[in-house]
A = this chain, B = another copy of it.
Amino acid sequence: MTPVMNEAELQEFLIAAYPQIFDMYPGFSITHIAPGEVNVTMETDHRHIRAGGTISGPTIFSLADMGGYACVLSHIGGEALAVTTNLNLNFMRKADPGPIFAKCRILKLGKRLMVFDAEITGTGSDEMVAHATGTYAIPPRTGG
């Protein structure tokens, strides 16, 4: 399970391939890549905060899902056309406005499925805000 891109290479790839991610998720950034591990983070603004002043569920879903996609891309390469097939989220605590962080771990990198989990934390506390596990399906590559 050896990464094929480092943090700067994956960041550059995402900016070129998916510029709209950075509109929706300002400050989205790959902060760590190691064998089987990827950390990502993002800022939050009024679009990510819901009534009551806490970070919204869809924002946490998005960070976990993008973290899983970063696991696939960093370990298989930018040509991977993977799609999320399952994502299970447990929400444990409210997250105050501010940056949020996902510490992702590849549980299995098969030829056809990548399984990962993600620990989501927020600002001002080390306690986990949410936990996710998910599966990406990896289409067979049309040879060349």
Interface residues in chain A, defined as those with a beta carbon under 8 Å from any beta carbon in chain B? 17-18, 20, 24, 47, 50-51, 57-59, 61-62, 65, 83-93, 107-108, 112-113, 115, 117, 128, 131, 133, 135, 137
Contact = CB atoms under 8 A, between A and B. Distances in A.
A65 to B, nearest CB: 5
Contacts of A47: 24
Copies of this chain? 4
A112 B112 contact: yes
Given A88-B133, A90-B135, 14 more contacts: A57-B61, A57-B62, A57-B65, A57-B84, A61-B61, A85-B115, A86-B89, A88-B88, A90-B107, A90-B133, A93-B108, A112-B112, A117-B117, A117-B131
Nearest to A128: B107
A29 to B, nearest CB: 18
Nearest to A69: B57
Nearest to A51: B18
